[in-house]
Amino acid sequence: MKDTARKRFTVQQITKMLWEGEALFKQGSTVDEVCRRIGISKQAYYCLRKDSCKMRVDQVRCLKELGKENGR
């Protein structure tokens, strides 16, 4: 079965949201507050966090460029 799900956010946007969430947690915010501020559901937050493997935005950008280069 082919995965036809539409992606709503880019990898860079996801990484930025997760880093912002981590900063809010350090300030004492709850998961509900963080998700409301970022604009995603709790379920989406946990799925994105599980899949992100804590990469920085510049690492994601570099990885994406390498993927394009390997495709050529």
Total tally of structural domains belonging to the chain: 1
Residue 38 lies in a domain: yes
Asked if residue 5 is part of any domain, the answer here is no
Q: Is the pLDDT of residue 66 over 70?
A: yes
The predicted pLDDT at position 55 comes to 65
Query: What's the distance, CA 44 to chain centroid?
Result: 10
What is d(CA 63, CA 72) in angstroms, rounded to the nearest whole number? 15
State the Cα–Cα distance between residues 17 and 34, nearest whole angstrom. 10
Determine the pLDDT at residue 1.
44
Structure confidence by residue, pLDDT tens digits, 27-54: 999 999 999 998 889 998 888 887 776 6
Q: Please, which pLDDT band fits residue 16 given cuts at 50, 70 and 90?
A: confident
Residue 21 domain flag:
yes
Q: 26 or 52: whose pLDDT is higher? A: 26
In a domain, 54, yes or no: yes
What is the domain range of residue 63? 11-71
CA angle centred on 56, ends 22 and 19, rounded to 5°:
15
CA dihedral 14→18→23→24, nearest 10 degrees, is: 100
Q: Is the pLDDT of residue 70 over 70?
A: yes
Domain contains 2:
no
**3 located within any domain:** no
